[in-house]
Amino acid sequence: MKIGVVGCAGRMGRMLVATVLETEGAELAGGTEAPGSPFAGADVAQLAGAEPAGIAVGDDAAALFEAADAVIDFTIPAATVAHAALAKASGTALVVGTTGLGEAEMAELAAAAEGAAIVHAGNMSLGINLLVGLTEQVAGALGPDYDIEVVEMHHRHKIDAPSGTALMLGRAAAAGRGIDHGDNAVMSREGETGARPRGAIGYAALRGGDVIGDHSVIFAGPGERIEIVHKAGDRSLFARGALTATLWTEGRAPGLYTMRDVLGMS
């Protein structure tokens, strides 16, 4: 399967390239960066710490989509929306690990999925996707007497908050409760906030050091507290999950899928 990587010179992009190169059944189709990137023309594989592959970093994402069977995107929301349009136009599968996508961007992904298989997940980890399923189940079982808080911590360089994974967990909790996430999410607290609204789903985002990703869902009820925790110790787990999703798209009908579809958990 010919696989391309957009944003191939970034930290995650390089890891994705390395994972493609070492995955059986996968072939590196190419990699791109934004026009004007200082990495333009560099060998994609060499940037990832592998032997040179004779494939230069380009800036033509449309050409990459035409050359590849699937493309992996861990970039920024605006770029992801543009890449989704290219996926639809070319029929090339797209795997999206970009975080910080809002409702408008998700609508663009859904529209593009009419013409291509698109897998989107705020987190590609198997453990996190299990945590999402558990969160939905526990939220439904415990009921509104248990307050829900989602706490996440990431490295100092992360540019969005709360994390895409935290939002996945909060939305899973809302689904379990049968409530609207947007109407009940509390993204921050400061000053005299008053009593906690019944049914609220609170978020706290911590930043510091080189933390890859810690996530906790807290259910605080009368006389007891239940916490479900996931801590990522190796960034490569996200790349491995993305490759699993990418290989899964082969022969898949157009549609917007999640990692729970990939793992047979839907």
**Catalytic residue positions?**
154, 158
Strand order in the sheet with 213-221: 185-186, 201-207, 147-154, 213-221, 224-232
Cis peptide before 222 (omega within 30 of 0): no
Residue 33 carries which DSSP code?
-
According to DSSP, the residues that pair with 205 across neighbouring strands are: 152
Tokens of 32: 């791109």
Specify whether the CB–CB gap between 257 and 117 falls below 8 A: yes
Return the SS3 of 126.
Answer: helix
Q: How many CB atoms lie within 10 A of CB 22?
A: 13
Question: Which residue in the block uniquely carries the two structure tokens 């592998």?
Answer: 50
Q: Is the alpha carbon torsion for 96, 97, 98, 104 positive or negative?
A: positive
Specify whether the CB–CB gap between 99 and 165 falls below 8 A: yes
What is the C-alpha to C-alpha distance for residues 266 and 80, in angstroms, rounded to an integer? 24
Q: Is the alpha carbon torsion for 105, 111, 116, 120 positive or negative?
A: positive
Nearest alpha carbon to residue 48 among 76, 82, 87, 7: 7
For 49-58, b where at least 16 C-beta lie within 10 A, e where not — what string?
ebeebebebb
